[in-house]
Amino acid sequence: MTCSIARTVSIVGDAWTLLLLREVFLRSRRFEDFQAHTGMSPHLLSVRLSKLVSHGILDRVVYQKRPLRYEYRPTAKGLELYPIVLALTYWGDRWTSGRKGPPTRLVHKTCGRPMYAVPTCSECGERIRPQEVRAEIGDALATERASMRARLKGPVS
Amino acid sequence: MTCSIARTVSIVGDAWTLLLLREVFLRSRRFEDFQAHTGMSPHLLSVRLSKLVSHGILDRVVYQKRPLRYEYRPTAKGLELYPIVLALTYWGDRWTSGRKGPPTRLVHKTCGRPMYAVPTCSECGERIRPQEVRAEIGDALATERASMRARLKGPVS
């Protein structure tokens, strides 16, 4: 897969993993906490934790020796998934909260105010709107997409 | 479910739907284009398109009468999913691209430069870092989480 979104999705793009990431950013670190707050079965949870560890998103660290206990801490690579969690939160708050308002308040400690995340341009700092972005598909991805289209139309005789 | 992330994830948090959203923001509008560029089967694709239509994320619009043909256009609610797509792109570009660099360039038409999305605080405009955010869990969600923890520990005798 050449597409960055497809690659990201293949690593974190399932419902349980996204909930697990939420928990990581709510400062959960232990198996029992992940299990309790997501409702995942132990098996489902271990498979997902192992995958995140194998991709270098979480580190598995001993926090107690007798009996041996591990916790899961986000790496630098894992912490950079935060914009995804912020974006999921924003949309859910805005479009699914109903009358009661958002279930959680995110307070920006730097300025002390409740906030939501606004995606801005790394270059000019302006808010990014979909109409104002042009995606320039590179050669490798363009070739892959053309061959997917060709495959759909059937073999050329 | 009280959590905004869980709600968002239940609507768009599966791999195929996230790929479908990518296509929407690459300006694909038609069934055949979605199918070709994602590799989804027609059945999987129709189920997901219908779900997005039923949640008011896509509008199904006639674009040709003879024969009857539809296209799928993002609503205002759908366009606001863009930050999720931007965040998936950023992480994939940064952590999975390898030597060749990102497969697609996003150009911000407003300033004319290739860019990536930076999540900033809606209040003070500063870049948001996970360490600088405090999540204040509201009463409804706190109760739900406590009862999930209690359930895990088994019935109280």
Which pLDDT does position A151 carry in this prediction?
A: 86
Whether the predicted pLDDT of A27 surpasses 70: yes
The count of other CB atoms within 10 Å of the CB of residue A84 is: 25
Chain A CB contacts of B119 under 8 Å are 82-83, 86-87, 117-120
Copy the structure tokens of residue B22: 């990518």
Q: Is the minimum CB–CB distance between A86 and chain B shorter than 8 Å?
A: yes
C-alpha–C-alpha distance, residues B136 and A107, integer Å: 7
Which of B144, B111, B154, B146 lies closest to B4, judged by CA?
B144
Which of B61, B69, B70, B72 lies closest to B24, judged by CA?
B72
Whether the predicted pLDDT of A129 surpasses 90: yes
Q: Is the minimum CB–CB distance between A126 and chain B shorter than 8 Å?
A: yes
Which of B110, B103, B130 lies closest to A121, judged by CA?
B110
Amino acid type, B83: P
Which of B34, B94, B79, B32 lies closest to A128, judged by CA?
B79
Q: Is the minimum CB–CB distance between A79 and chain B shorter than 8 Å?
A: yes
- In chain B, beta strands by DSSP E: 58-64, 69-74, 104-108, 113-114, 117-121, 133-137
Is the preceding peptide bond at B67 cis, omega within 30 degrees of 0?
yes
SS3 A135: strand
C-beta atoms of A2 and B103 within 8 A = yes
C-beta atoms of A10 and B10 within 8 A = no
Token pair 């697609």: residue: B104
C-alpha–C-alpha distance, residues A32 and B153, integer Å: 10
Q: Is the minimum CB–CB distance between A31 and chain B shorter than 8 Å?
A: no
Query: What DSSP designation does B100 have?
Result: G
SS3 A117: strand
Which pLDDT does position A99 carry in this prediction?
A: 83
Which pLDDT does position B152 carry in this prediction?
A: 82
Rounded average pLDDT over A34-49: 96
Per-residue pLDDT of chain B (157 residues; tens, 9 = 90+): 789 999 999 999 999 999 999 999 999 999 999 999 999 999 999 999 999 999 999 999 999 999 999 999 999 999 999 999 999 999 999 999 888 888 999 999 999 999 999 999 999 999 999 999 999 998 888 998 999 889 887 655 4
* Whether this model's pTM surpasses 0.90: yes
Per the CB < 8 A criterion, the answer to whether A86 and A113 are in contact is no
Strand partners, B70: B62
| ipTM confidence score | 0.93
Whether the predicted pLDDT of A108 surpasses 60: yes
Chain A CB contacts of B8 under 8 Å are 88-89, 91-92, 96
C-alpha–C-alpha distance, residues B72 and B80, integer Å: 16
Which pLDDT does position A157 carry in this prediction?
A: 46
Q: Is the minimum CB–CB distance between B76 and chain A shorter than 8 Å?
A: no
- Tell the burial category of B112 from Cβ atoms under 10 Å away from its Cβ (0-12, 13-18, 19+): exposed
SS3 A75: coil
Which pLDDT does position B151 carry in this prediction?
A: 86
Per the CB < 8 A criterion, the answer to whether B102 and B93 are in contact is yes
Taken as a whole, chain A contains a residue count of: 157
